Amino acid sequence: MNLSHSFPSSGVFAGVAIVGAGPAGLMAAETLARQGVAVQVFDAMPTVGRKFLLAGKGGLNLTHSEPAADFVGRFGTRQAQLQPWLQQFGPEQVRAWAQGLGVDTFVGSSGRVFPSSMKAAPLLRAWLQRLRALGVQFHMRHRWSGWAENGALCFSTPSGKVQLQAQALVLALGGASWARLGSDGAWAPWLRAQGVEVATLRPANCGFDVLHQASVGGETRREFLRELLGQAPVVGWTPHFAGRFAGQPFKSVAIDFQDSSGHHFQRRGEFVATATGVEGSLIYAVSALLRDEIETHGSATFHLDLLPDHSPERVLAEVRHPRGTRSLSSHLKSRLGLDGIKMGILYEQLGKERMADTLALAAAIKALPITLVAARPMDEAISTAGGVTLEALDEHLMLRQLPGVFCAGEMLDWEAPTGGYLLTASMASGVLAGQGAARWVQRTL
């Protein structure tokens, strides 16, 4: 859409400009438009809600049905700051909002909330129809590139560069994951140049590379690497394990991890072996602790329980049970149901010699140490940590350094696991920023 169709030649707009057409930006637009404020939404992508649609490919997880206290607790060190957002627009409000768009929701067996169709596209279409009916105008392929000397917003468009001045601005630019969908973190230096405190962007809900465990000269790779001072650790599974099991899930397992500060994580679930390490829902749930431990100490070791329904005593008894002429693999499959990737990881981590040690094998089945040495690149992560610090914002999410500029969504310095928490909090921040921008516009009239 050509800006000249909407703006006077002076490039001055009597309303609010929103940069970013993801869930946070769209929720800010709806909040503003419902209060009669003129809204223009800009986005660098050709279409609206690209990451929202991608997130819904396997079933759009809107929110979570767990008790409010548990829900807020998922936001870690930022839960106190996010609690007021979620009290105003939390899981119940998300479901009511979807219902208002004609989209029924249901609670899955894990407590996660999904649209009845499991799809994101029908919900997004209904949302856009509502926004357009409220008068919201969209400008796609308009990439924001900061401010001009006169304070105008600068956009690069297919038709050339455009400048715009508005009464207020809502930035909902996302973090720095999935850059191809529009979230590339390019905004960070522009805000820092304006004196805004921006914490370094880091991967969140991400996978990790494991420390290679192959034997070297009779030593384990880990011991060998400790002697190679100044050299980067060798990462990834052995070619044999990666070739057989990359892409396969560890099901019905549990992870136990305690970091050097005493934070403890223990949970059942499942995750996936990748070509170089691990990823998936159970890994994402503990990813913040793992990432921080690696950043501080260079590695993080969690313990994997391959049989969480079996006691250590039972596992030891079954491992020690006479196996006659059967191979160890056949014995463990018969007595404990261990096979496939679970047997593969035991051989990968222990080697044949330690597999023959019944005490070591039984202990490993219940607490197999897996050492991680690096988070996967940020562009592979589901979300990011870091961003505009909450201390840089007032209670209406307005930047203290830039009056009239509000921020929302994943570009703010908070993080949460997958499970509907990210989307709910992003939308809640959009509501809050929209309300703040509406107050600002009314003040300046």
| Domain coordinates in residue numbering, the chain | 3-204+384-444, 208-375
Residue 3 neighbours by CB under 8 Å, 6+ apart: 11, 139, 142, 155, 157, 162, 164
Question: Is the dihedral angle over the CA atoms 124, 125, 130, 134 positive or is it negative?
Answer: positive
For the entire predicted model, the pTM comes to 0.89
CA distance 379 to 382: 8
User: Would you give the end-to-end CA distance of the chain in angstroms?
Assistant: 28
**Helix, strand or coil for residue 310?**
coil
Cα–Cα distances (Å) from 92 to 27, 127, 298, 410, in that order, read: 16, 18, 41, 21
Cα–Cα distances (Å) from 207 to 40, 54, 224, 275, in that order, read: 37, 18, 25, 11
DSSP, res 145: E
Quick one: pLDDT at residue 180?
Answer: 80
Largest CA distance in the chain: 89
Distance from CA of residue 244 to its chain's centroid? 28
Phi/psi for 351 (5° steps) reads 80, 165
Of 392, 329, 398, the C-alpha closest to 361 is 329
Residue type, 268: R
Quick one: pLDDT at residue 231?
Answer: 57
Of 75, 30, 59, the C-alpha closest to 410 is 75
Query: Which residue's structure tokens are 């005593």?
Result: 313
Partners of 144 in the beta sheet? Answer: 155
Query: Which residue's structure tokens are 């455009």?
Result: 162
CA distance 291 to 417: 13
Quick one: pLDDT at residue 445?
Answer: 66
DSSP, res 399: B
**Helix, strand or coil for residue 429?**
helix
Query: Which residue's structure tokens are 């979620």?
Result: 86
Query: Which residue's structure tokens are 């003040």?
Result: 443
Distance from CA of residue 249 to its chain's centroid? 20
Task: For residue 362, give both structure tokens.
Answer: 């039984």
**Helix, strand or coil for residue 163?**
strand
Where the chain has pLDDT below 70, the residues are 1-11, 213-233, 445
Long-range contacts, 227-234 (Cβ 8 Å, 24+): 233/299, 233/373
Fold of the CATH domain 3-204+384-444: FAD/NAD(P)-binding domain (3.50.50)
Quick one: pLDDT at residue 233?
Answer: 66
Residue 223 neighbours by CB under 8 Å, 6+ apart: none
CA distance 81 to 78: 5
Quick one: pLDDT at residue 99?
Answer: 97
Of 71, 178, 80, the C-alpha closest to 416 is 71
Query: Which residue's structure tokens are 């500029």?
Result: 405
**Helix, strand or coil for residue 62?**
coil
